[in-house]
């Protein structure tokens, strides 16, 4: 995984704490769940291995 976008609330924010020390991942904290999905899709279209996390 190269890219992770998340809306900063549990459980998505705790995943960032777990993943950050072990991997070279670009993290983006978005303002809402729609932005999380769209930034992840943009990263996928750019050829990155991407993941997203939201509370909903």
- The predicted pLDDT at position 16 comes to 77
What's the pLDDT tens digit per position in 2-52?
Answer: 899 888 777 666 777 777 777 788 888 889 889 999 999 999 999 999 998
The residues, any chain, with a CB within 8 Å of residue 43's CB and separated by 6 or more, are 2, 3, 5, 26, 50
> In the 3-class helix/strand/coil scheme, how is the chain assigned residue by residue?
CCEEEECCCCCHHHHHHHHCCCCCCEEEECCCHHHHHHHHHHHHHCCCCEEEECCC
pLDDT at 7: 84
Q: Look at the pTM and tell me if it is higher than 0.85.
A: no
């Amino acid at each position: 995984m190269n890219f992770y976008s998340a809306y900063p609330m549990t459980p998505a924010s705790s995943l960032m704490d777990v993943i950050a020390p072990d991997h070279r991942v670009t993290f983006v904290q978005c303002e809402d769940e729609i932005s999380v999905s769209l930034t992840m899709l943009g990263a996928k279209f750019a050829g990155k291995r991407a993941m997203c996390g939201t509370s909903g």
